[in-house]
Every structure is written in C-alpha cells, then in structure tokens.
Amino acid sequence: MDFNPIEYALMTYKILCSDLDGTLLTYKDNVSEYTINEIKRIRNHMRVVLVSARMPKSMIYIQKSLGIEDQPIICYNGALVLNGKKELSSTFIELDLIEGIYKEANKLDIKLGLYSGDEWYVESDSERVQKEIKYTKALPQFRDTQLTLKDWYTRKLGGHKIMMMGKKENMDTIFPILSKTFSNTLNLYRSNDTLIEVAPKSVSKLTAISLLLHPGENLEDVIAFGDNYNDIEMLQHAGHGVAVGNAREEVKEISQAITLKNTEDGVAHYIKQHLYI
C-alpha cells in the first residue's frame, strides 16, 4: 500500500472525542453495532471521550455500550467533567442569570428545563419533554422553576445547563434578546428551531477536552467529530475535525473532513476508513 501522509497522521492521534446527538448516535437514543465494533477496535490504542450537552446518566449507558466506562465524559457542553464518580471540573450558571432568563422566557411562554449534575427539573409535561425522556433515558422532576431556584440557593448549587423549549417564532424572538443581554456571561446555542441551550461562558467542549490532555499532549493529538454549532470550536482546534454529513453547513465549512450522516454510521465509517490500528 502506498504511503499516505494524511492517513499516517490519523493513525497517530491519541484521543478521539465525539459529540453524541446527531453525530455518534446512529439512532435517537443509542449507537449501532457497527459503531460499537469500531470503537472496541480502537479503544485499547487511543482514548475515546464522549462530549455532549447531555446530563451524566444520559451518557453513561452509551459509554457502557461502547465498553469505555474507564474514560472520562464531558457533560453539558463542558460545564461538568467526570471520571467515573470523580468530579474533575464543574462550572455553574449563577442563579441570578437563571432568574433573568426565566423572566424573559415567561413573557413568551417559553418553558425551561434546568439541569444540575444528574438532576433535571421542568415545570410541566409536554411533547418535547417526552421526547427528551425517550431519547436520553432520563426522568425529570416536575416542579415550579422558582422552587427549584430556591432549593438550589439553599444547597449552594447552580445550573450546569438550561434547556429552553418553545415555538419557533418565540425562539426567533427571544434569541437576539438573550444574546444582547447575556452574551458576555453565557453561551447560547440554537439546537434546533424550538430549542435553545444555555451554558456558562467560561467553558466549552474545547476547554473540557484541554483539561483531559495528559502531560506532553496538546490539541493536535485529538481527532474530533461533531454536527452542530456547539461543536465548531472543538472541530476548529482539534488536530483533525470531522463533520458528519448531516452537520450544519457552518460546521462543515470549518471542518477538515466530512463523513457520512450519523444515520449512516458516519463516525464509525470514518474510523474504519482512516484509523488503522
């Protein structure tokens, strides 16, 4: 076989980092056998780290499917990093900022999902909440947002993530308002037309990955996969950033390579084609 410098470089990566929803997950709630087999093929030769906006319990079952429970997970877009039960890093959204977002959301009948660690609170049930339950295998507690904030204040907690859920036209209205008011302190992501995810400004998927680098390693040692706006920084700065075929156009534009769609096992296909162990 002729020497290919690009493929040789891909063989030398020490860490594979992948987003979950819309990227590694072939189905809405899990990975395919193809993906499991490809991860198992490489897991003893490079570290495989799951990087997601999900809460811990909604990532651990995927870790187990892939046989990589010995690796850290990056939750909530980098706001919480865990290695087993050990907390490596935790960054909260301050309660006064959550209160401010809650007030703006109330004006447009936008509902909030509040996350802290493995806690998830919503005020009422909805089709969107049921989808989250189905796809993430987690159950929320139904409670008034003000009661949740009061409880967190007493327990000296904050939110690792806010999920805003509403109609497209209301989300279109509130997104620029939130961006103008909170852009200096919070990261705001449009997950889709009816969802906005809110995370602390000081952290990201990239900052969390940087935290996990071993002595002597740098971001050039990372190959990363993603599909959405919250993956852009990670893909831009990794040694090799790969967008799946269903990724947003802005994500594809900054990536070094594009693979098949997540529903076509894009990540596993790329691993099989390029990561020779």
* pLDDT band at residue 277 using 50, 70 and 90 as cut-offs: low
Going from N- to C-terminal start, the domains of the chain cover: 5-90+203-274, 95-200
* pLDDT band at residue 69 using 50, 70 and 90 as cut-offs: very high
What is each CA distance from 227 to 90, 120, 146, 148, 206, in whole angstroms?
A: 24, 25, 34, 32, 15
Tell me the β-bridge partners of 113.
Answer: 122, 163
- pLDDT, tens digit, 9 for 90 and up, residues 6-57: 444 455 899 999 999 999 999 999 999 999 999 999 999 999 999 999 999 9
* pLDDT band at residue 191 using 50, 70 and 90 as cut-offs: confident
d(CA 220, CA 160): 28
Give the rounded percent of residues in the chain with a pLDDT score beyond 90. 94
Task: Give the model's pLDDT for residue 74.
Answer: 98
Question: Using CA atoms in the order 183, 77, 226, 72, what is the torsion angle rounded to 10 degrees?
Answer: 160
Pairing verdict, β 257-258 and 240-243 = parallel
Report the pLDDT averaged over residues 120-147.
95
Tokens representing 127 are 């089709």
Report the pLDDT averaged over residues 234-240.
98
Task: Give the model's pLDDT for residue 145.
Answer: 96
Tell me the CATH number of domain 5-90+203-274, given options 3.40.190.10, 3.40.50.1000, 1.10.10.10, 3.40.50.720: 3.40.50.1000
Tokens 């204040």 correspond to what residue? 153
CB 122 within 8 A of CB 111: yes
CATH domain 95-200 topology? 3.30.1240
Task: Give the model's pLDDT for residue 1.
Answer: 38
Contact residues for 225 (Cβ-Cβ < 8 A; gap 6+): 16, 17, 18, 19, 23, 24, 235, 242, 243, 244, 259, 266, 267, 270
Give the rounded percent of residues in the chain with a pLDDT score beyond 70. 96
* CA dihedral over 94, 96, 102, 105, signed as positive or negative: negative
| pTM greater than 0.85 | yes
